Amino acid sequence: AAGVIQSPRHLIKEKRETATLKCYPIPRHDTVYWYQQGPGQDPQFLISFYEKMQSDKGSIPDRFSAQQFSDYHSELNMSSLELGDSALYFCASSLSLSPGLAGEQFFGPGTRLTVL
């Protein structure tokens, strides 16, 4: 079965640089979520999109932005990177059971971002 695809899998950046992470949801899934997981930490919700519109917002820094495109893939753009941004970034996708009722979330393999 097709799973969530994330690219790149690993990314190394310098402080103050920018990074773009990409997420390709499971086919037919209409909702995408982004999570940040620090070392030894639980995943922290950043932002989500339903049918290309932002549906919820968590602890996402103002330096970060995201969007969902017409083909339902999503990109997380991170600017002015800081050392503390080093983490695993997960994308998850789900299929809405009905308008406003999201289905189970399936996670991708993650992108490991290292900021030097």
Partner 1 sequence: QQQVKQSPQSLIVQKGGISIINCAYENTAFDYFPWYQQFPGKGPALLIAIRPDVSEKKEGRFTISFNKSAKQFSLHIMDSQPGDSATYFCAASSEGYSTLTFGKGTMLLVSP
Contact positions vs partner 1 (CB under 8 A):
4, 33, 41-45, 48, 55-56, 58, 90, 92, 94, 97, 100-110, 112
Tokens of 91: 């994308």
Distance in Å, CB of 5 to partner 1, minimum? 11
Distance in Å, CB of 16 to partner 1, minimum? 27
**Interatomic CA distance for residues 20 and 31, integer angstroms:** 19
Q: Give the nearer residue to partner 1 in terms of CB position, either 14 or 101.
A: 101
Measure Cα distances from 98 to 2, 95, 111 in Å: 22, 9, 30
Closest CA to 44 of 57, 63, 26: 57
Distance in Å, CB of 79 to partner 1, minimum? 24
Q: Give the nearer residue to partner 1 in terms of CB position, either 14 or 45.
A: 45
Q: Give the nearer residue to partner 1 in terms of CB position, either 44 or 79.
A: 44
Distance in Å, CB of 90 to partner 1, minimum? 5
Q: Give the nearer residue to partner 1 in terms of CB position, either 39 or 84.
A: 39
Contact between 110 and 43 under an 8 Å Cβ cutoff? The reply is: no
DSSP string, 58-73: -S--TTEEEEE-TTS-
Place of tokens 């983490």: 87
